Amino acid sequence: MLRSLLLVLLLPAALAQANINPLPLPEDKGQPVGQILIHTAQEGDNLAALARYYGVSPILMMAANPDQDLLLLQPGQRVIIPHQLLLPRAETQGIVINLAELRLYYYPEQGDEVYVFPIGIGRVGRATPEMITRISEMRKNPTWTPTANTRREYAAKGISLPAVVPPGPDNPLGDYAMRLAYGSGEYLIHGTNDPLDVGLRSSAGCIRMYPEHVEWLFAQVGNGTRVQVVNQALKVSTDQYGQTFVEAHEPLTPEGLADNRPLDLSALMPLLEQGADRSLIEEVIQRQQGVPQLVGQQY
């Protein structure tokens, strides 16, 4: 439903090229990275434009502003931009993708910083798998060879696909594609000819990026770059001062359903054992606002 609503929104030309800036990594890796931004809506602003400009998935923006209607922005309306986050539990090298938060992290070989981008991922029934792999092929102006399943899906919509889609505006891979070595090589990180797919579960399993983001990333990486895909809806970290932060997202499963199992609070047990307010912690987790929140101090 979100995508159908976004289709009526136009992206102002002035916002077409988002800024690509690194977030400095703190010396204490338990601290949140980045900061919360506040955007005051101007005439003509819309969710699709703001999400692309700030490099944040529309779904994350809606989660961070649960009491606001971001599909009908009014001049003067204050919008929280969730630019503060906890790093996923993964090696801080190469590319790390966290499916649950619809984000791609890129850690350059040199420097204490990280670049963070919104992504689109596999839809229900074609979920992007978790993996540890590497980039096996770099392709500029790629062609696209639809699979048999994809042909059937398009045929059901009355669309007949050619055997090979050449580079150009009709190619869903966009202008840049990076093939992953996982499986038989069917998964790629690539651009898109439909930017409204970024930030949604809409692909056949590949990772989609905004055209300007994938162009930049393509120039930074190469064959052999490490890629790790995780699915961490709950991120927890404790800094050197004993402050514990929680960042909670809506859990994703291959079936597209929220995970209704009891909350796994094992990472928060030291805090709970010291008498922390369990109901407060559970409320923070259940709200799934996608921004780090301080839930207690261990010492």
Per-residue pLDDT of the chain (299 residues; tens, 9 = 90+): 444 344 334 344 334 445 689 999 988 888 999 999 999 999 999 999 999 999 999 999 999 999 999 999 999 999 999 999 999 999 999 999 999 999 999 999 988 999 999 999 998 888 999 999 999 999 999 999 888 888 888 888 888 888 899 999 989 999 999 999 999 999 999 999 999 889 988 888 999 999 999 999 999 999 999 999 999 999 999 999 889 999 999 888 766 555 555 666 777 888 788 877 888 888 988 899 999 999 988 76
Residue 113 tokens, joined? 């910083």
206 is catalytic: yes
Q: How far is CA 286 from CA 45, 250, 289, in A?
A: 30, 8, 9
| CA–CA distance, 37 with 54 (Å, rounded to integer) | 10
First to last CA, the chain: 46
Q: Nearest 10 degrees: CA dihedral of 81, 28, 218, 214?
A: -10
Round to whole Å and give the CA distance between 2 and 176: 26
SS3 content of the chain, % helix, strand, coil (to 5): 25, 25, 50
Tokens coding 166:
């050449």
pTM of the entire predicted model: 0.90
Contact 220, 228 (CB under 8 A): no
Catalytic residue among 39, 83, 206, 213: 206
Domains, the chain, ordered by start: 2-230 (2.40.440.10), 234-297 (no CATH)
How far apart CA 49 and CA 142 sit, in angstroms, is 27
Are 41 and 80 spatial neighbours (Cβ–Cβ below 8 Å)? no
Counts for the chain of helices (H) and strands (E), in that order = 7, 18
User: Which entry of 39, 83, 190, 249 is annotated as an active-site residue?
Assistant: 190
Question: Is 83 labeled as catalytic in the residue annotation?
Answer: no
d(CA 84, CA 180): 29
> Residue for token digits 């289709």?
7
- Are the C-beta atoms of residues 191 and 214 closer than 8 Å to each other? yes
